[in-house]
Amino acid sequence: MTTQAVTLFHLEGGVWQRSDLTLLQRCYAEDEVRAALAAAGFPEVSAYDAVKDLAMAGNVGRTFFLARRKPQSG
């Protein structure tokens, strides 16, 4: 588990707004993520490497998942 403090600024109506947040992150193996998604009804899963696929420098070892829920019949 890792904790990361993040401060964001965005311009709203000509005034800068500040948001502070804390992210808690836990690492899982890709097969664990895929199995959990499949068990939750998301059989279609694509995985994208942050650096190789998404050009996100500084994010070595990070993977993003895109999952589609199986349509419910009935």
Domain extent for 55: 2-68
> Among 16, 34, 51, 66, which residue's Cα sits nearest to residue 7?
16
Residue 23 belongs to some domain of the structure:
yes
How many domains, in total, are found in the chain?
1
Query: How do the pLDDT tens digits run along the chain, 74 residues long?
Result: 889 899 999 999 999 999 999 999 899 999 999 999 999 999 999 999 999 999 998 878 889 999 998 777 76
Residue 48 belongs to some domain of the structure:
yes
Residue 18 belongs to some domain of the structure:
yes
Residue 45 belongs to some domain of the structure:
yes
Residue 73 belongs to some domain of the structure:
no
Contact yes or no for 2/28 (Cβ under 8 A): no
